[in-house]
Structure 1
Amino acid sequence: MVRLIYSAICSIDGYIADSDGNFDWAVPGAQVHSFVNELERGVGTYLLGRRMYETMIPWETMAHETTPHEDPGGTSVSGYSVPGGPSVPDEFAGIEAATVEFARIWRGIDKIVYSTTLNEVSTARTRIVPRFDADFVSSIKSGAVQDISIGGPTVAVSAFAAGLVDEVRLFLCPVNIGGGLRALPEERLDLQLLEEKTFDGGVIYLRYAVR
């Protein structure tokens, strides 16, 4: 059965960005990134707000960044050349591998961007829709063969209100930021815990079914 999934990396107090829009504290390490990649392999369509889409655009070309096998002068880490050959810490090598793999996954997923200001897109398999329409999303869901993922809390609010969200997947970072952009809507949600996992560094993954 195809699921509509809302996923977010957020602070322990439930925000995906602080009041200034910063989310540098949410950058995943290699272990979390690899886990996310495995989850995203089952996704066939992304529903994205404009800001989330613009944040994700760099993944379109990141798959073509230099890899250690292509760089004769050193080893690259996330697109940056590191002099000295293969003596790069395993953590950096793991981040690079996970980054390149996620970029490949991103490029293979259909993307619907909700925006009234964008006139064109710079990524493949992407179309712009001016506003969220529950019936339209329901029709996509009924005809899909892979899961659908929502990216961005603003779009998610509409999907929750329409009763379309089947699962919530949260990655809680061990930081309290005190305010900003909320990961979840300001309304009651009844959730059933399906899975939990703790990663090195204190990030906790929680997967819920929406009742």
Structure 2
Amino acid sequence: MAKMLYSVTMSLDGFIAGPDGDMSWLADYLGPNPEVEGLIGDIGALLVGRRTYGGDDPHRGTEKEGKAFGGGWDGPQFVLTHHAPDRPVPGVTFVGDIDGAVAASKAAAGEKYVNILGADIARQCVEIGALDEVLVCIAPVMIGDGVRLFDHPGGTHVKLERLSVSQAPLATNLWMRVVR
């Protein structure tokens, strides 16, 4: 059965996007990362939040714009939204509830990972007990404001177990498992 993995690049001060979802800061830190490159072949499906799906792209203005992992991955994508577009998008399924989105993406992923993209959808997966692992690539920058890696007003306690720590030229990678 597929595992649910939240993978993301984060600034040292805990932000995954700048104010208003700005991703331009990330462009300077999209370099070679063996951990991520090894992961890509193990991803069977993406589960994406609506703001992430329709949001800013660190590859804006390049041939990699709009492509998952800059074009390094291709496969089924599931977008959690209450407002699906009128026209179908090839390879993208729009789902209206978190339970349905998790079930559909896991079925599509088979024995591989469902890679979660977006802080809010990751938080929702935590709330329903669906998140299995977290891979955070920490970029050597502080951006000061924006979208946090994990934000749960009122707080919540999610115990994690470190699986690995690795270095890449432009990031330090922390891979964790959710302890149940």
Q: Give the structure 1 partner of residue 26 of structure 2.
A: 26
Query: In the alignment, does 2:170 pair up with 1:205?
Result: no
- Report the identity percentage: 25
Q: What is residue 138 of structure 2 aligned with on the other side?
A: 172
Structure 2 residue aligned with 1:162: 128
Cα deviation, residue 102, structure 1? 4.8
Cα distance change on mapping 1:41 and 1:55 into 2, 3 Å: farther
- Count of aligned positions: 171
Higher helix proportion: 1
Asked whether 1:5 is paired with 2:18, we answer: no
Show structure 1 runs of 5+ residues with no match: 60-77, 80-95
1:111 counterpart residue number: 77
- Who wins on radius of gyration, i.e. which is larger? 1
User: Structure 1-normalised TM-score?
Assistant: 0.69
Pairing of 1:55-134 with structure 2 (within 5 A): 55=55, 79=63, 102-103=70-71, 105-106=73-74, 109-120=75-86, 123-133=89-99
Residue identity in the other structure for 1:53: Y
User: Could you tell me which residue of structure 1 aligns to residue 160 of structure 2?
Assistant: 191
Which ranges of structure 2 fall in alignment gaps of 5 or more residues? none
CA RMSD of aligned residues (A): 3.1
Query: Which deviations, in whole Å up to 9, do the C-alpha atoms of 1:46-65 show, x marking residues without a partner?
Result: 11111211248899xxxxxx
* TM-score, length-scaled by structure 2: 0.79
CA change 1:57–1:128 in 2 (3 A) is: farther
Question: Post-superposition shift, 1:125?
Answer: 1.6
Q: Which runs of 4+ in 1 moved over 6 A?
A: 56-59
Q: Is the 8 A contact 1:48 1:111 kept in 2?
A: yes
- TM-fit CA distance, 1:162: 0.7
Q: 1:159 to 1:25 in 2, by over 3 A?
A: same
Shift in alpha-carbon separation, 1:104–1:196, aligned structure 2, 3 A: closer
